[in-house]
Structure 1
Amino acid sequence: MSLIQWIDFKEIGDHRGNLVALEGNRNIPFDIKRVYYLYGLQPDLPRGFHAHRELVQVAVCINGQCDILMDNGHSKQTVRLDSPTKGLLVNVMQWHEMSNFSEDCVLMVLASDAYDESDYIRDYEDFLEQTK
């Protein structure tokens, strides 16, 4: 499995504007159980710093831009999210850290399940142990 997996969304538009439809088990590779978004973010205050044991997510920067560090315990890569027509798949056991938020950044996340604190790995050393 590749560390970085992009999903390109079809954009429908004309002189009135643009539309992107996100559909579970179609252009999103799972049944969507939760949607949340982050906004009003401070450029110098990173977020995330965790991985999930079972949850799968797709992150979409629907406005502005931000960087996401992806880490599978063996390799790391930072990518820029800056398009509402592109989603980043955050798979199970992928440590992720979001940073460098533009002032107008709105980061939406589609999740495969409801919030469950027990699914989170919040200690990086524990994460590395579990990815050996």
Structure 2
Amino acid sequence: MTEPYLIQFPKLGAPEIGYISVTEQQKLVPFEVQRIFWTYYTPESIVRGRHAHHSTQQVLIAVAGRIIVTTELADGRLESFRLEDPNMGLYVPPNAWHTMQYSHSAVQLVFASAPYHEADYIRSYEDFKRIWQSN
């Protein structure tokens, strides 16, 4: 079972000219990217996510602001990640229940290993525990 982990992307540049972070297909992102999406203007009082996936892998990046991501594996291991540097990403495997809470100015960029399929989402916490504990 794969666990969530941080990915540090290159930070090229300098304070006086700015920075760029870059990756090429499957260099740092451990899967072929099939979908890219972003979230923004999420109120700080809202907790998003609250799901896991059967097979989709993701890398989450706070390109602006701060995002607190909490992951839980089926064995009960909880981890909290503070994303606030645009050159840091969080790999979220399919077996991880995850929630995100955003600063109001946060912009989250997500690389996903599959196109959107509602059937891939596990939206019930009880189903998540049942499905992944049996694996």
Q: Which runs of 5+ in 1 are unaligned?
A: none
- Note the C-alpha offset of 1:4: 3.3
C-alpha distance in 2 between matches for 1:29 and 1:16: 30
**4+ residue runs over 4 A deviation:** none
- Note the C-alpha offset of 1:24: 2.1
**CA-to-aligned-CA distance 1:6-51 (integer Å, 9 cap, x gap):** 1110111133211011322112111111110000010001000100
TM-score (norm. length: structure 2):
0.92
Code of the aligned partner of 1:62: V
Taking only the aligned residue pairs, the percentage that are identical comes to 32
Does residue 8 of structure 1 match 2:13? Answer: no
Residue 93 of structure 2 corresponds to 91
C-alpha distance in 1 between matches for 2:55 and 2:2: 17
State how 1:71-110 maps to structure 2 within 5 Å: 71-74=72-75, 75-99=77-101, 101-110=102-111
**CA-to-aligned-CA distance 1:78-100 (integer Å, 9 cap, x gap):** 2111111111000011100001x
State how 1:20-31 maps to structure 2 within 5 Å: 20-31=21-32
Query: For the structure 1 residues 3 and 27, does the alpha-carbon distance in structure 2 shift closer, same or farther, using more than 3 Å as the test?
Result: closer
Q: CA RMSD in A?
A: 1.2
8 A contact 2:37–2:109 mirrored in 1:
yes
8 A contact 2:2–2:93 mirrored in 1:
no
Query: For the structure 1 residues 116 and 2, does the alpha-carbon distance in structure 2 shift closer, same or farther, using more than 3 Å as the test?
Result: closer
Query: For the structure 1 residues 3 and 61, does the alpha-carbon distance in structure 2 shift closer, same or farther, using more than 3 Å as the test?
Result: same
Does residue 61 of structure 1 match 2:53? Answer: no
Q: Which runs of 5+ in 2 are unaligned?
A: none
TM-score (norm. length: structure 1):
0.94
Residue 123 of structure 1 corresponds to 124
> Number of aligned pairs?
131
8 A contact 2:60–2:110 mirrored in 1:
yes
C-alpha distance in 2 between matches for 1:23 and 1:113: 17
Code of the aligned partner of 2:31: F
8 A contact 1:66–1:102 mirrored in 2:
yes
